[in-house]
Amino acid sequence: MSFLKVDHVSKLYPVLDDKAKRGESFVVFRDVTFEIRQGEFLTMIGHSGCGKSTLLNIIAGFDQSSTGGVILEGREITKPGLDRMVVFQSFALMPWLTAFDNVRVAVRQAHPDWPPEQIRDWTQKYIDMMNLHGAEQKRPAFLSGGMRQRVGLARAFAVEPKVLLLDEPFAQIDALTRGGIQEELVRMWNATRNTVFMVTHDVDEAILLSDRIALMTNGPEAELAEIIEVTVPRPRTRAELIDSPDYVRIRNHILHFLVKGAKKSKHTGKDAPAAPAIESKPELQPTT
């Protein structure tokens, strides 16, 4: 039995704005099927509008699939819960709470039976792990974007969910800060070995963090095209990454897919376990 199974999930919306097409439906994506192993870090890449956020929201329980379903440890997901924590692109921190209290609220919900001191200590542990020491009593408005997302990550990790869902968690953070916080995420993940499903536009980020990368074709009617194994050995750092031949190969493959392959609506080699042959395309400049 798989840990998390996304099983033939499609998402359709009724067409409301176009009178000629009344009664028809707008298919965001169709028949998406994949599995995530326990402790695995799986990232989904695809162009804007292919439904990555929609899929993540379905896994989170915020949204319902039109057909198919998501099964976590043998149980179908119907609503949000503490076993799946989301790290939001918009951070979603409560602006009226301090950084510390934003994390503490989550810990208290996850462990209602704990005494206050234990909740406090546990919160502090995750605050420290995310290098937030000294910022505990600041409200989100007085934190930088990078700091805010650290709080978001601390909140999610502190709950020790079965699955972490990251929706473009670093998209709103400037490129210089992003590198540091990505490496913190790597460290955190190495320490906890959480199961992670992440959505991103950033190819380098995906390779740095993931065990496997799922590629989606363009929407509407997006499909899962293939899943690539990231064979770069761990532990990975951004500095070492650029010298790895596997990194170059995988990066080119993904960029090639995004530029050319994603347009095909019919997929090939769904759920392919291994990365295809090396495709070195010198004309593809790294553009992230």
Partner 1 sequence: MALRPSWKDRFGPYLLSLFILGLFLLVWEGATRPPRFDAKGKTEDQLTTMEFNGDIVKDAAGHYLWNPDKVKGIPGPMKVFEKARTELGEAFVKKGTNDHGIGLLVGYTIKRFMAGFLAGSVVAILLGVLIGLSKPLFLALNPFIQVLKPISPLAWMPLLLYSVKDPFWTAILVVFMASLWPTVANTAFGVNSIRKDYLHVAALLEMSYLRRLFTVVLPAAAPAIIAGLRISFGSALVAVVPAEMLLGELGAGYLTWIEWNNLDISGVIFAILVVGFVGYALDFAFGKLAALFTYTEV
Ligand X SMILES: Nc1ncnc2c1ncn2[C@@H]1O[C@H](COP(=O)(O)OP(=O)(O)OP(=O)(O)O)[C@@H](O)[C@H]1O
Binding site for ligand X (CB under 6 A): 13, 26, 28, 46, 48-54, 219
Residue selected from 39, 92, 133, 260 as contacting partner 1 according to rule CB under 8 A = 92
User: Would you give the end-to-end CA distance of the chain in angstroms?
Assistant: 38
CB of 174 to partner 1, least distance (A): 16
Binding residue for partner 1 (CB under 8 A) from 46, 68, 140, 219? 140
Which CB atom, from 30 or from 84, has the smaller least distance to partner 1? 84
State the CB neighbour count (10 A cutoff) for residue 274.
10
Residue 139 interacting with partner 1 (CB under 8 A)? yes
Select 102 or 218, whichever has its Cβ closest to ligand X: 218
**Choices 75-83, 178-186, 239-247, 252-260 (CB under 8 A): range interacting with partner 1:** 75-83
Per rule CB under 8 A, is residue 88 in the interface with partner 1? yes
CA gap 104, 155 in Å, rounded: 8
Distance CA 75, CA 38 (A): 15
What would the two tokens of residue 248 be? 């170059």
The answer to the question of residue 61 lying near partner 1 (CB under 8 A) is: yes
Residues, the chain: 288
H/E stretch holding 39 reads: none
Put the strands of the sheet holding 67-72 in their side by side order. 25-36, 4-14, 67-72, 75-76
Sheet of strand 212-216: strand arrangement: 84-87, 163-167, 195-200, 41-45, 212-216, 224-229
Give 10 or 123: the residue with its C-beta nearer to Mg ion: 10
Closest approach of ligand X to the CB of residue 20, in Å:
17
Site residues (vs partner 1, CB under 8 A): 60-62, 79-82, 84-86, 88, 90-97, 105-106, 109-110, 139-142, 148, 159
Query: Under the rule (CB under 5 A), what is the footprint of Mg ion?
Result: 53
